[in-house]
Amino acid sequence: MKFSLKKSLLFIVIALTLMVSVLGVTPVFADDETPPPAPVETEEPVTGGADEPPAPVQEPPASPAEVLEQLPAEVPVVVLDENAEVLPLAAQDSAEIIATVDPIWCPAGQAPTPGANGCTGTFLTPQALIDDMDLNPAFYDADGVIYFTADPGGAFLLVPGTLEKLTTADYNVLKLNDLTLQGGWSGTSGDTNFTQTVFTENAVQIGTAGNPWVGNITINNITVQGAAGEGLYVLSKGDIHVNNVTARDNGQRGARLVNTTGTGSVTVQNSTFTGNGGAGLRVESSGNVTLSEITADGNANGAVILTPAGLSVGGSSFNGNTTTGLLFNLTGTAGSVSIETSTFNDNTTGATVTTLGNLDVSNSSFDSNTGAGLLFNLVGAAGNITIEKSTFNGNASGATLRTSGSIVVSCSEFSTNTQYGINAPNATGPMELASTTFSGNGTADYRYNGSGLTITDVLCNPIPPTPVLPVGDGGKSMDEVLYYVIEKLEDQVPAGLPAGNSLVSAFEVVLTPRGEKVENLLITLSFPIPAGMQADNLAVLLWNGMEWVQVPGGSVVNDRFVVTVSGAGFYVLVSR
């Protein structure tokens, strides 16, 4: 059984009456009616010369526990539930009525310490805290953090206006500051081991479209569920950071984050958006958007991202949504999109990207969608598309790529799609298919109307680090290994190659402590090369920390370029 802090306030008021009257047994009802507020004495702020005394500091309200400590021992206390039935003081429900702690505000960086270190006392509800902001705007005119316990006690609507809102004048003062909403506080002073605050059938909103917040907004450890409209709605000109937030089963969007009127970025991480009537997550920004380790499953749309800047997605899932798993839609702008280690399965369309910029996809799956697994949807766009180590299986079309830029697909799989594996009907730039497999596609494995198609083989999986012994030392134990030769990928090359050089393969040589003691150590490297590559065009370069220098010698032996080097370092085989 849960009780709001209204019950705690009722207890406090009655307890204080008992302190004065000390007359018999007075019941404390756990009802839902808020008692009339006690009169609060206020003092005008002191202004003037340096010799005048400073303005008095307003003391925070006493907590229920503090009131209990002040009661005389002879005052009996009875706690009643909402049915006017007596609860034993030792019962858990009695403890909840008496000891529930509600939101407090603290200066930024300050742990929650009610009534100390610049923090307010606790408030009955989020609205009571907002009301106090309206009464005392000067006190809150600083970067701050609001701590919520597990049950917040109502909606949190930090917006300008009237009727349970900040007055516009006070809102305009406070909106210039950075603000953090920190959920999951235990209610214990100084405790920073946060769990989760759950807003049930209550929304959380900061700012409005006509008057957005200006400072940065951070929201941590908050769940918003069952709200009739949008669950979490943030409008600001600054950065928006969301971490460990859940928005589920809300009538419209789970979370909507908007900072299009400023230049701030949006970062969402370790968060879940499921079962919402609209998009699980909608971001409208003028800056870069980063989605890391998020789940956007089972919504109308998983995530909708609108920004002229870039989008980075990693370690996330966008599965089982009615329409699109991920929608990035900015016609006429050149924001680039990077997707890695993510899933886009069982939607109508796995992911739709509309941009003039580039698209990079790696280690991701676009499977079992009723439409396209991946749709790059901007005819005539010059953006380049790179797809690596990803699957596009069981869709209508594996990947539909409408671009006039280049298309490079490597180490990927396109199978059992009812139409095409890859459909690039408008492509005019080159398309390379490197070690990519096709099987069981209905119409054709791929469609490409350009003139620059190449099909090549590349090494898809790096060779694990393997100990290599010098010639003649084959019988030595692992403890006597002199060096390791480790194959490297293109994105691991330490610097750009000289003009006119194209990477073929790369190795890093690392000496063991024993190998470092060997003088004039010679190491033979054997670089893999694609079939048909001309030996006269190959060379090995060494990165010396400042520039690439050519290693003399080397020759083609079968499908390898073999060269002898004299030490550790990063070596690349290039074609010229």
Q: Is the domain of 205 the same as that of 324?
A: no
Q: Would you give the end-to-end CA distance of the chain in angstroms?
A: 75
Residue 194 has pLDDT above 50, yes or no: yes
Assess contact for 239 and 215: CB atoms under 8 A. Answer: no
Beta bridge partners of 397: 372
Q: Is the domain of 136 the same as that of 70?
A: no
Assess contact for 68 and 15: CB atoms under 8 A. Answer: yes
C-alpha 81/C-alpha 224 separation (Å) is: 27
Q: Is the domain of 106 the same as that of 250?
A: yes
DSSP 63: P
- Which of 461, 485, 509 is the last residue before a domain boundary? 461
- Cα angle 527, 531, 532 (rounded to 5 degrees) comes to 115
Q: Is the domain of 162 the same as that of 212?
A: yes
Other beta carbons within 10 angstroms of residue 499's beta carbon come to 5
Q: Of 14-23, 343-352, 408-417, 428-437, give the lowest mean pLDDT range.
A: 14-23
pLDDT given at position 462: 59
> In this structure, which long-range contacts are made by residues 130-136, counting pairs with CB atoms below 8 Å and at least 24 apart in sequence?
130/156, 130/157, 130/158, 130/164, 130/165, 130/166, 131/164, 133/105, 133/166, 133/170, 133/174, 134/166, 134/167, 134/170, 136/58
Q: Is the domain of 242 the same as that of 369?
A: no
Residue 503 has pLDDT above 50, yes or no: yes
221 sits in which H/E element: strand 217-225
Helices 92-99 and 5-21: angle between axes, nearest 10 degrees: 80
Residue 526 has pLDDT above 60, yes or no: yes
Site of tokens 């950065």? 239
| Structure-model confidence comparison of residues 393 and 491, the more confident one | 393
Phi, psi of 358, rounded to the nearest 5 degrees: -90, 160
- pLDDT tens digit sequence for 22-43: 444 434 433 333 444 433 333 3
pLDDT given at position 479: 52
* Residue 558: burial class (beta carbons within 10 Å; 0-12, 13-18, 19+): exposed
Q: Is the domain of 119 the same as that of 140?
A: yes
Q: Is the domain of 77 the same as that of 106?
A: no
C-alpha 293/C-alpha 295 separation (Å) is: 7
DSSP 137: T
C-alpha 357/C-alpha 491 separation (Å) is: 20
Structural domain of 23: 5-98
HSE-up of 211 (CA within 13 Å, CB side)? 15
C-alpha 339/C-alpha 514 separation (Å) is: 42
pLDDT bracket for residue 3 (50, 70, 90): very low
Q: Is the domain of 450 the same as that of 487?
A: no
- Cα angle 373, 378, 380 (rounded to 5 degrees) comes to 130
523-528 and 560-565: which strand pairing? antiparallel
HSE-up of 219 (CA within 13 Å, CB side)? 27
pLDDT bracket for residue 423 (50, 70, 90): very high
Beta bridge partners of 374: 351, 399
Q: Can you tell me whether residue 47 is helix, strand or coil?
A: coil
- Which of 292, 309, 326 is the last residue before a domain boundary? 309
Q: Can you tell me whether residue 453 is helix, strand or coil?
A: strand
Beta-sheet strands, E only, within 417-533:
420-424, 431-434, 437-439, 444-448, 453-456, 466-468, 483-488, 502-511, 523-528
pLDDT given at position 518: 84
Note the residue count of the chain.
576
Q: Is the domain of 229 the same as that of 359?
A: no
Q: Which residues of 470-496 are buried (b: 16+ CB within 10 A; e: fewer)?
A: beeeeeeeeeebbbbbbbbeeeebeee
Beta bridge partners of 408: 386, 432
- Comparing CA positions, the residue from 108, 303, 103, 320 lying closest to residue 202 is 103
Assess contact for 283 and 257: CB atoms under 8 A. Answer: yes
Q: Is the domain of 151 the same as that of 288?
A: yes
pLDDT given at position 34: 41
**Average pLDDT, whole number, for the chain?**
82
Give me the mean pLDDT over the 494-512 stretch: 88
Q: Of 130-139, 358-367, 486-495, give the lowest mean pLDDT range.
A: 486-495
Of the chain, the percentage scoring pLDDT greater than 70 comes to 77
Q: Can you tell me whether residue 173 is helix, strand or coil?
A: helix
Report which listed range, 67-76, 232-241, 330-339, 382-391, is most confident.
Answer: 232-241
Q: Can you tell me whether residue 443 is helix, strand or coil?
A: coil
pLDDT bracket for residue 379 (50, 70, 90): low
HSE-up of 253 (CA within 13 Å, CB side)? 18
C-alpha 503/C-alpha 511 separation (Å) is: 24
pLDDT bracket for residue 229 (50, 70, 90): very high
Measured CA distances, 373 to 182, 298, 402, 417 (Å): 37, 17, 14, 9
Q: Can you tell me whether residue 182 is helix, strand or coil?
A: strand
C-alpha 527/C-alpha 562 separation (Å) is: 6
- Comparing CA positions, the residue from 502, 489, 572, 495 lying closest to residue 533 is 502
CA 357 to chain centre: 22
- Which of 309, 343, 361 is the last residue before a domain boundary? 309
- pLDDT tens digit sequence for 141-174: 999 999 999 999 999 999 998 666 789 999 999 9
C-alpha 434/C-alpha 374 separation (Å) is: 19
Q: Is the domain of 481 the same as that of 532?
A: yes
pLDDT given at position 513: 81
Q: Look at the chain and report how many structural domains it folds into.
A: 4
Q: Is the domain of 375 the same as that of 259?
A: no
